[in-house]
A and B are shown apart, each in its own frame.
Chain A
């Protein structure tokens, strides 16, 4: 199952609490900030290793964020990759 999340805070937290094995989460819009290593650590760092975490590259770029500042587990997609994630996962839940 694919979760598309567009903001941090409660929305991301509610989503993360419901992720289970082999789920995929895609961070878009303001949620890409959750990919960045923070102190204390972001909720993303607590996820089990069998959950795939993606961030939308253009939303990172627009906000001046680069991969070096992010958790190593994050994978990056452009819009074509976004479309592929939607194609390869069902159902899709948009969290906003």
Chain B
């Protein structure tokens, strides 16, 4: 089946991003397609390039980036959630004069239309929240 994932909570403060990541690993292992992971509300902080957890802890942001580079899973950060919270993608940052490297590798910034497309194209849509 095709699965669409939405993450609504920031990493570390809530288990949502961990649960979602483990679920996605198991879904891929079982041969399912993860159509897209959409980061919404405070979930956008999962894409925070400058996150630097202590060396003996899981690196949630890097783990997402690896999911994209190794498994090709589409990671999309909501542009309006991100702009409101100060996480700007390069082209947006250039336009408004923000910090240019805010978004980690493997994530792309786009609008809610991509959430909707993901939902429509998928057999299941799962939301992980706080």
Binding site for B on A (CB under 8 A): 4, 6, 28-30, 58, 78-80, 82-84, 86-87, 90, 92, 94, 96
Contacts and interface: CB of A to CB of B under 8 A. Distances in A.
Given A6-B15, A83-B32, A86-B126, A58 B27 contact: no
B26 A92 contact: no
Contacts, number: 49
Interface of B: 1, 3, 8, 15-16, 19, 22-23, 25-27, 29-30, 32, 123-130
Given A29-B15, A29-B19, A96-B16, A83 B27 contact: yes
Given A82-B23, A83-B32, A92 B126 contact: yes
A61 to B, nearest CB: 13
A8 B129 CA distance: 14
